[in-house]
Amino acid sequence: MITSTDTSAGLQLIAYKVKAGQRITDQDALLLFEKASLGFVGSLANGIREKMHGDTTYFNRNFHIEPTNVCVFSCNFCSYSKLYAKREEGWELSIDQMLHMVKKYDGKPVTEVHIVGGVHPKMDLQFFADLLKAIKAHRPGLHIKAFTAVEYDYMFRKAKMTAEEGLKFLIEAGLDSIPGGGAEIFHPEIREKICADKVDADGWLAIHEAAHKLGLHSNATMLYGHIEKFEHRVDHMRRLRELQDRTKGFNTFIPLKFRNKDNDMSNVPESSVVEDMKMYAIARIYLDNFPHLKAYWPMLGRQNAQLTLSFGVDDIDGTIDDTTKIYSMAGSEEQNPSMNTAELVTLIKQAKRKPVERGTLYNVINDYSVIDIKEVNAALN
């Protein structure tokens, strides 16, 4: 039987490890989830965040392209996709339509286009290579962060290519980096129940490892707050930490809150704000080899994203410009997810942090901590 004295000693040992810059174990992480207070983990996570980044909080100017919400897979948590058999209920964009979306940003200082969507059998490897080439031909300096490991797994298998061969093909077409979607929860016990028919954990990790070996950076996500248990979260983060030890290719970790609107898991209650903040804090403590921790503000809402900046987070994503439907369709706080640069800067400054506009690979573009907000507004008008 574990006593309160044992728990207290265990938490004190974790605090010592963190302050000494030592790695915590899986058992330590479980103890934090099960027994630590929000204030305890928040204090440790904030200490790590400030040691790594000070008060700097990153954002970028980006927009999303979602080629289709038609998908051959049927994930129970998804409110976004339409099965291929019911594709008349969804959308399917042509290359010309997507290039038109890029052209809408001509003359605007966006630095990244984020391309993810459903897995459509007619949108194959060549189709997406042609899309990347068209974007690069029109705007060579725009960073293309595109396609989840789920999308890659399907298109590479269909093209009868290895992950390395397929990624090389897309790099030549203009691919610059990879987002972290499709990870969900790695543990097979949970994955079997929520997304049994798409690429498994080993496949997801193998694609990211292949990307890292080719010089591509990527992000990593975890869908939390549904039917998983704390040990499943720790297992997921352990696999990411082990891969990062080998490759150093991940830029950031993004915990994604499960939303229960209009999906097959609508009966599962959503996590509380306290649980959300604790998730971010423990992720920052455990993933000691990840340089950044991101809160995706369209999913959390502006105020809660602002709150994460005290719980280990140093990045709140970008301007988005109302170009994503993935979370708004699932009932997120932000039904029209768009913030301009001045709004993002203000949000970060209100949290007593320093707003810094970054590129996708965290190169500093503008340090807004030394620019008055009136100047920001004037520059935009």
Neighbours of 229 (CB within 10 A): 14
Q: Does 40 map to a domain? A: no
The pLDDT score that the predictor gives to residue 125 is 95
The pLDDT score that the predictor gives to residue 329 is 45
**Shortest CA distance to 360 belongs to which of 125, 131, 103, 178?**
178
Residue 92: which CATH number?
3.20.20.70
Distance from C-alpha of 70 to C-alpha of 121, rounded to nearest angstrom: 9
The pLDDT score that the predictor gives to residue 334 is 43
186: Cβ contacts below 8 Å, ≥ 6 apart: 201, 204, 205, 235, 236, 239
The pLDDT score that the predictor gives to residue 91 is 81
Q: Does 376 map to a domain? A: no
**DSSP assignment string, 92-151:** B--HHHHHHHHHTTTTS---EEEE-----TTS-HHHHHHHHHHHHHH-TTSEEEE--HHH
Walk across the sheet containing 315-318 and list its strands. 315-318, 56-60, 354-358, 364-367
The pLDDT score that the predictor gives to residue 84 is 43
Q: Which amino acid is at 132?
A: L
The pLDDT score that the predictor gives to residue 307 is 96
Q: Does 9 map to a domain? A: no
pTM: 0.90
Which range marks the domain in which residue 312 is found?
56-340
Distance from C-alpha of 269 to C-alpha of 259, rounded to nearest angstrom: 9
Distance from C-alpha of 136 to C-alpha of 99, rounded to nearest angstrom: 10
Q: How far is CA 314 from CA 29, 46, 181, 241, 366, in A?
A: 21, 10, 19, 18, 16
Going residue by residue through the chain, which has 381 residues, state the pLDDT in tens, using 9 for 90 and above.
Answer: 456 678 999 999 999 999 999 999 999 999 999 999 999 999 999 999 999 999 999 999 999 999 988 887 666 666 555 554 455 567 889 999 999 999 999 999 999 999 998 887 888 999 999 999 999 999 999 999 999 999 999 999 999 999 999 999 999 999 999 999 999 999 999 999 888 788 999 999 999 999 999 999 999 999 999 999 999 999 999 999 999 999 999 999 999 998 877 666 778 889 999 999 999 999 999 999 999 999 988 888 889 999 999 999 999 988 866 444 444 444 445 445 567 888 889 999 999 999 999 999 999 999 998 876 566 555 554
The pLDDT score that the predictor gives to residue 71 is 80
Distance from C-alpha of 46 to C-alpha of 309, rounded to nearest angstrom: 8
Q: Does 310 map to a domain? A: yes
Please give the backbone phi and psi of residue 185, each rounded to the nearest 5 degrees, phi first: -125, 130
Q: Does 281 map to a domain? A: yes
The tally of domains found in the chain comes to 1
